[in-house]
Structure 1
């Protein structure tokens, strides 16, 4: 078992040495021919950074750069919804705060909040303040997720998928007890 593992590691290391030797200089566009289909495709190593930059400047622009137009409404919908909840909770927080200040100053509170006690006004303030801050945190998180998604999508858009690397289910017969066992076969051709 140790010998098989050692041979596998050696094959893996020696198969990656020619790849490392060829990448001495960064090229903007690399044309690669697929060995099975013989279709050339280009690799642009700066595409992921461009997509991330575009998404950082304007959310959704990196998805447009990657030609994934269907993701733009999702980006704007998610960020718009969290900004809506931020605005809603901010207004409610200010309503409760102003009503509490009026009650402390001895002025009459009008509207829906007139029947609430001071403790209820304080708990309403903390509730809406916490939700307002959480909504802003979610908005920032979605903005960062938008940038990361554009970068990863640009990386994966250049990934070569062909029959040289494949994973197939395999049904093997055990030679000892003649039972069939399900497994996976990983084929990698150099």
Structure 2
């Protein structure tokens, strides 16, 4: 197809569409979705491979803390149950570090406090895991948005005195020039 001047026109694309397709080759939405599905996938999509071990270290640490607290919660819960019910037959099944509390008549209160503390720590570790996963998604999204950001050293900064004839005032202008 040709226009009135005889120039050839490609049907179906406009210059604006071509510019948009070039600018949108790196999608922040894709980075966010990928990081939400698998942690670190958004960082890999952004080619920031050095961040992936940090993501997995943070998530792995919070997962380990969850496992540790869950293990101790179960131990304390079982020891508390044995202490409250005076179940002597299952005394040997109690974790060895908690056995003195089971024998002690005042140990029930201590075991209850331990059990409740570890339950609270479990909740905190779940919240930390979710927040770190969310931070992973936010990092991938922001990094994708800044992918085309120019950080070249061709930036200049000038401060000049200025005078406004319209308002008959003096001032200072700040000029930030991109070369």
- The answer to whether the superposition gives a TM-score over 0.5 is yes
Deviation per residue, 1:125-155 (Å, 9 max, x gap): 1111111110110000010110110000000
Post-superposition offset of 1:81: 0.3
1:187 to 173, 176, 179: 176
Give the Å deviation of 1:57: 1.1
- The answer for unaligned runs of 5 or more in structure 2 is 1-15, 102-106, 162-171
Structure 1 equivalent of residue 5 of structure 2: none
Partners of 2:19 and 2:122 in 1: CA distance: 47
The number of aligned residues is 146
| C-alpha spacing 1:113/1:189, structure 2 compared with 1 (3 Å) | closer
What corresponds to 1:84 in structure 2? 64
CA distance in 1, matches of 2:66, 2:97: 21
Q: Which residue of the partner structure matches residue 113 of structure 2? A: 123
Q: Counterpart of 2:80?
A: 100
Cα RMSD for the two superposed structures: 3.0
3-state DSSP class of the match of 1:29?
helix
Does the Cα contact within 8 Å between 1:49 and 1:151 map onto a contact in 2?
yes
The alignment status of 1:29 with 2:21, answered yes or no, reads yes
User: Which of 116, 134, 138 matches 1:144?
Assistant: 134
Alpha-carbon distance change, 26 to 155 in structure 1, aligned in 2, over 3 angstroms? farther
Unaligned runs of 5+ in 1: 1-23, 31-42, 173-182
Closer, same or farther: CA 184–163 of 1 in aligned 2, 3 Å: farther
Shift of 1:160: 3.0
